[in-house]
């Protein structure tokens, strides 16, 4: 029961950037985002909520696996990198949707990618399963980076 509560708490923590970012996103989809020129591969808006629900859940599970792993392993760097990427994750929505700064959001998402990779490198030393669980997140943020870059090029 204690582990289940810890898992639920960690998943909730991973949802916080989405909850915070959601306030900025919801208020700026219309008219600002809807008026941007979008690339042909821009996904439909409805896809983002289910994808992020799965990704935030997987992130929480990954963090749980690292934290419950053998306590003799040094987890500090990985957890710090993970916390930084969570902050960058939420910051991206604020910068992109809240401030309408597409280029600055691109800088944020590149930093986010870097800290996801750094988290994965550190997590690999502790729990390989925790890293494999983060692969969909890495792929989605990589795609989002290309999308962000394309939006910048099309809307300078």
pLDDT single digits (tens) 27-53:
887 889 999 999 999 999 899 999 999
Please answer whether residues 58 and 133 qualify as being in contact, where contact means their C-beta atoms are separated by less than 8 angstroms: yes
The average pLDDT across 63-76 equals: 91
From 72-76, 99-103, 108-112, 133-137, the region with the lowest mean pLDDT:
72-76
Domain CATH number, residue 27: 1.20.1260.100
- Provide the number of structural domains found in the chain: 1
Provide the token pair at 73: 């392993």
The average pLDDT across 91-117 equals: 97
Give the whole-angstrom CA distance, residue 148 versus residue 102. Answer: 7
Q: Which residues contact 127 (CB under 8 A, 6 or more apart)?
A: 62, 65, 66, 69
User: What average pLDDT is seen over the chain?
Assistant: 95
N-term to C-term CA, the chain: 52
Choose between 38 and 26: higher pLDDT: 38
Q: Is the pLDDT of residue 146 over 80?
A: yes
Q: How many helices (H) and strands (E) does the chain have?
A: 6, 0
Confidence (pLDDT) at 120: 98
Full residue range of the structural domain in which residue 40 is found = 2-154
In the chain, what percentage of residues exceed pLDDT 90?
88
Provide the token pair at 28: 């700026």
Distance from chain centroid for Cα 86: 6
Per the rule left: phi > 0, alpha: psi between -120 and 50, beta: everything else, 100 is left
Confidence (pLDDT) at 41: 97
């Amino acid at each position: 029961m204690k582990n289940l509560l810890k898992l639920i708490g960690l998943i909730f923590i991973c949802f916080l950037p989405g909850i915070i970012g959601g306030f900025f996103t919801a208020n700026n989809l219309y008219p600002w985002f809807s008026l941007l020129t979008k690339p042909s591969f821009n996904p439909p808006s409805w896809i983002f909520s289910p994808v992020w629900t799965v990704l935030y859940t997987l992130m929480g599970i990954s963090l749980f696996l690292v934290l419950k792993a053998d306590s003799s392993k040094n987890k500090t760097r990985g957890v710090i990198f993970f916390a930084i990427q969570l902050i960058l994750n939420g910051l991206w929505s604020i910068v992109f949707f809240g401030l309408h700064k597409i280029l600055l959001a691109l800088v944020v998402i590149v930093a986010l990618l870097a800290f996801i990779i750094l988290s994965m490198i550190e997590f690999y030393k502790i729990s390989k399963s925790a890293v494999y669980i983060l692969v969909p997140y890495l792929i989605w943020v990589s795609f989002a980076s290309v999308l962000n870059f394309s939006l910048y090029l099309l809307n300078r």
